[in-house]
Amino acid sequence: MTTQDDAAEVATIQRVLSYARNIAIVGLSSNPLRASFFVGFYLLRHGYRVFPVNPRESEVLGQRCYGSLADVPEPIDVVDVFRQGDAVPGIAREASAVGARALWLQYGVVSPEGVAVARDAALDVVEDRCIKIEHARYFGRMHWLGFNTGVVGARRAKALP
């Protein structure tokens, strides 16, 4: 990847995060040990509206779960995918059909065909990146628990009396 490609990817990530308000998470699990659960929790804590899309769940993180993107009753800005790469082309087509603006593929989710489908439909695409980590990176909330301590260094700040 060239420096120009890196800059384009950073610009895409920042653009998507700037307009994202409603995020459909495809594959969101109710299992608190799954990465999708933590990402959904983080996004809710930071003011995003999260729409779980998983036909095997009825509710996740206190939010009603939907069987497909077409079932979500609100406009979707970003479709965040926690599924295997072979499922992505169909998800990309569904994202385009519901008018989503972006397709975000989490770490380990790679699908050249899915990316091509999304780009052909004029969706912004981010592949093999975590939306939680990128949000923290660009909005100053990078910390191992996902919270900004305001401390730069290896020592913990002294507690106030």
Task: Per residue of the chain (161 residues), give pLDDT as tens.
Answer: 555 567 778 999 999 999 999 999 999 999 999 999 999 999 999 999 999 999 999 999 999 999 999 999 999 999 999 999 999 999 999 999 999 999 999 999 999 999 999 999 999 999 999 999 999 888 866 555 545 555 555 555 555 55
How much is the pLDDT for 137? 86
How much is the pLDDT for 151? 53
Per-residue burial over 141-152, b = 16 or more CB atoms within 10 Å of its CB, e = otherwise: beeeebeeeeee
Domain spans of the chain?
Answer: 3-138
Cβ proximity of 65 and 28 under 8 Å? yes
Phi and psi at 107, nearest 5°, equal: -50, 135
| CATH (residue range 3-138) | 3.40.50.720
Phi and psi at 121, nearest 5°, equal: -90, 10
Cβ contacts of 137 within 8 Å, gap of 6 or more: none
How much is the pLDDT for 87? 96
Would you state the structure tokens that stand for residue 51, as one six-digit string?
A: 């729409």
How much is the pLDDT for 8? 78
